[in-house]
Each structure stands twice: as structure tokens, then as C-alpha cells.
């Protein structure tokens, strides 16, 4: 807010004070105040500051009417100082005016609100935030919602995260539906205060088919942080289907999330589709991932076929043995024997022990 606007605010406040003053002011004081206002309009700022300061000092220790007049002179000085580009000094004058007019609650509240912005304009951000909090507390929830959000933003800018979190809740209570800027601020505060569940709820409330990939990624990441891998997988899956995530790394992240989120069968289905279409290379890495996915899904037929395909491609004795062990555990004795024999022929040291165990075991009946 410019200094010109601040001058208008202070001037309007002074006229209101004349009209509603509780302590009656002598005619000569009113006339003097009016003359100073005229000088203020004529941009005679230095003269206004000098005269207003002199009068404020002279009257500040008098009776109630004198102290009230002193407060009004301080307001005029503040107005002139603000026009001169001295917001800090202007704020100090309003602070003195507030102290002198302690009994005039409505006027004191107006001066407090004006001081808030002057403090902030002067770079006195801590004082500005503290005073704005004081003013909001005095308004008994009647203040505009944007002032609650302003305080939350200022506290966040100063990295006073705990306080920002407390005022964020009040801001949200004052707002039917936060806009994009407010949602972004709320998300930052929630993340900084480790309130990942609240951050996730906020993000989920704003997600729709038009949301870009960054928002889907962020929501999925928060779901992981809050210990909800299933939700993370569902979010990534939805974004993939909507075409918001289409990079090769996104493809593998989708698999990893389904594996971690308790839906390994979905991971396996995606893998098989991409293997068949050629979107991913049919190598040991992809086949091993497919085998593990079907294994976690407890799909015996698919898991054994996948392990067999992996062992055939890798030609590793250990892969043949793992395939044989799984077949044995699932009652596929014939497949187990063939796999373990192949593992033994490839030099796997443990395969022979498993073959001996298989020969000593009674046949499985499925």
C-alpha cells in the first residue's frame, strides 16, 4: 500500500475522531487540528510534523481531553511521516496515539490496524505480525478473512511455522473455499509443521481431471509420507490413466507404488501389458520384477510361469532354485524337480539339498 493511501486512511480516521470524540475538545484545539489537516493536504509535511509533535508533547500529560488531543496530533504527525516515506516513524506515532487514547476502543483499534501495515512497510515484520494478531483477537472473529490469511502468510514468510499453523486453522475456518493461492500457502504450512495428513486432505480436495501432473505427484508423495501407500498408488494410477504422468520414470514409479501399496497384481498386469507392447525391455530386471509381483499377489500359476521365464532368460542357478522352491512350496512337485535339477546342473550349491528334501517328502495333493 502506498504512502499516499496511508495518508488518506489517517486523514479519514482523524475526521471520524472529531465527529465521535468522547472528551470534548476546546475550540482552539479543533481549529489548530483543522489547520494542520489543511497543511497536510497541501503537502506541507515537515510543518505538520513539527507543529503536531510540539502540541502532542505539550498536551500528553494533561487531563482526558488534553490526552485525546495529543493522540490526534500524533495521528497527524504519523500521516505526514508516512507521506514522507518514513513508515517506521509513522508507526511509532500511531503507537503513541493508541497509548494516549486507551479509553477510545474503536479509534484505538483503527489506529492499531493502520500501524500494522506501516510496521510491515517499514520491514518490521515481527512487530507487524504480532500487532495484526492482537488486532484480530480484538475483533472477535469479525475481521475479514483476508486479514487472517495475511497474518498466516506473514508468519510463514518469517518461518514462524508453529504460529502460522495455528492461524492457518483460523483462516480456514473463516473461508468457505480457499482459492489457489490460499491452498498453496496452507499446503506449505502443513508440510513445514509435519501435518502430512492435513496436507494430503487439502490436496485431495483440490484434485480433479484437470489437475496437472505436479499436483498428482505431490499428492502421491504426501500419501507416502503419511504412511498410506495404497492411496499413493491409487493417485498415481489415476493420474497415469488421465495422461498426466507419461514419462518412463513415471511408469516404473507406478509399479513400485502398487508393489508397496498392497496391489502387486495391478503392478504385474501393467508389467505384462508393457512387455507385450514393447514399452519396456524384456530383460532380467523387468522379468524379475514381474515374478516378484505375481509372487506377492499369490497368483500361483502366474508367479510360477514368471519365475520360469526369468530363470530361462538369466540362466542363473539361483533363479532356477528359487523357481523350484516356490513350485515345491505350492505343491508343484514335477515343476519343482525339473527346476531344482536345472539349478544343480548350473552349479547351485543348495539345489541338491532341496532335491533331497523333495525326494523324501510325500507327494503333494492339490
In this structure, how many other beta carbons lie within 10 angstroms of the beta carbon of residue 97?
Answer: 30
Q: What is the domain range of residue 108?
A: 1-123
Residue 215 in domain: no
Q: Angle 191-123-82 (CA atoms, 0-180°, nearest 5)?
A: 140
Confidence of residue 363 (pLDDT cuts 50, 70, 90): low
In this structure, how many other beta carbons lie within 10 angstroms of the beta carbon of residue 343?
Answer: 27
Tell me the torsion sign for CA atoms 170, 173, 179, 183.
Answer: positive
Residue 150 in domain: no
Separation between Cα atoms, residue 288 and residue 310, nearest integer Å = 6
Residue 43 in domain: yes
Would you state the cell numbers that stand for residue 212, as one nine-digit string?
A: 496437472
Residue 169 in domain: no
Residue 243 in domain: no
How buried is residue 44: exposed, middle or buried, by Cβ count under 10 Å (0-12/13-18/19+)?
middle
Residue 362 in domain: no
Would you state the cell numbers that stand for residue 100, as one nine-digit string?
A: 494516549
Separation between Cα atoms, residue 262 and residue 228, nearest integer Å = 10
Number of domains the chain contains:
1
Give tens-digit pLDDT for 104-114: 888 999 999 99
Residue 52 in domain: yes
CA distances from 176 to 171, 172, 173 (A): 10, 8, 8
Would you state the cell numbers that stand for residue 193, as one nine-digit string?
A: 509443521
Residue 72 in domain: yes
Average pLDDT over residues 274-287: 95
Separation between Cα atoms, residue 164 and residue 155, nearest integer Å = 5
Give tens-digit pLDDT for 217-274: 999 998 998 889 999 999 999 999 999 998 889 999 999 999 999 999 999 999 999 9
Separation between Cα atoms, residue 269 and residue 285, nearest integer Å = 16
Amino acid at each position: 500500500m502506498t504512502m499516499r493511501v496511508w495518508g488518506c486512511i489517517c486523514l479519514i480516521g482523524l475526521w471520524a475522531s472529531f465527529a465521535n470524540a468522547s472528551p470534548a475538545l476546546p475550540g482552539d484545539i479543533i481549529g489548530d487540528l483543522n489547520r494542520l489537516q489543511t497543511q497536510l493536504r497541501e503537502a506541507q509535511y515537515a510543518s505538520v510534523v513539527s507543529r503536531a509533535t510540539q502540541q502532542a508533547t505539550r498536551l500528553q500529560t494533561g487531563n482526558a481531553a488534553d490526552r485525546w488531543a495529543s493522540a490526534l496530533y500524533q495521528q497527524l504527525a504519523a500521516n505526514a511521516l508516512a507521506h514522507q516515506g518514513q513508515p517506521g516513524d509513522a508507526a511509532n506515532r500511531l503507537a503513541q496515539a493508541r497509548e494516549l487514547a486507551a479509553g477510545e476502543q474503536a479509534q484505538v483499534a483503527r489506529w492499531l490496524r493502520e500501524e500494522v501495515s506501516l510496521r510491515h512497510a517499514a520491514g518490521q515484520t515481527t512487530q507487524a505480525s504480532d500487532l495484526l494478531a492482537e488486532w484480530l483477537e480484538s475483533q472477535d472473529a469479525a475481521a475479514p478473512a483476508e486479514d487472517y490469511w495475511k497474518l498466516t502468510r506473514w508468519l510463514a514468510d518469517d518461518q514462524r511455522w508453529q504460529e502460522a499453523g495455528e492461524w492457518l486453522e483460523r483462516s480456514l475456518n473463516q473461508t468457505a473455499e480457499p482459492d489457489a493461492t490460499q491452498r498453496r500457502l496452507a499446503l506449505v504450512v502443513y508440510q513445514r509443521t509435519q501435518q502430512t495428513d492435513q496436507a494430503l486432505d487439502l490436496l485431495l480436495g483440490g484434485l480433479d481431471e484437470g489437475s496437472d501432473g505436479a499436483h498428482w505427484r505431490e499428492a502421491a508423495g504426501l500419501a507416502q509420507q503419511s504412511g498410506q501407500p495404497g492411496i499413493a498408488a491409487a493417485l498415481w494410477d489415476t493420474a497415469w490413466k488421465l495422461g498426466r504422468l507419461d514419462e518412463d520414470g513415471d511408469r516404473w514409479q507406478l509399479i513400485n507404488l502398487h508393489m508397496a501399496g498392497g496391489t502387486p497384481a495391478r503392478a504385474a498386469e501393467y508389467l505384462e501389458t508393457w512387455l507385450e507392447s514393447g514399452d519396456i525391455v524384456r530383460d532380467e530386471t523387468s522379468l524379475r520384477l514381474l515374478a516378484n509381483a505375481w509372487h506377492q499377489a499369490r497368483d500361483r500359476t502366474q508367479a510360477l510361469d514368471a519365475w520360469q521365464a526369468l530363470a530361462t532368460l538369466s540362466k542363473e542357478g539361483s533363479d532356477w532354485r528359487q523357481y523350484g522352491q516356490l513350485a515345491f512350496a505350492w505343491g508343484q512337485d514335477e515343476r519343482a524337480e525339473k527346476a531344482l535339477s536345472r539349478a544343480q546342473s548350473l552349479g547351485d550349491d543348495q539345489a541338491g539339498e532341496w532335491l533331497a528334501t523333495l525326494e523324501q517328502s510325500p507327494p503333494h495333493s492339490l
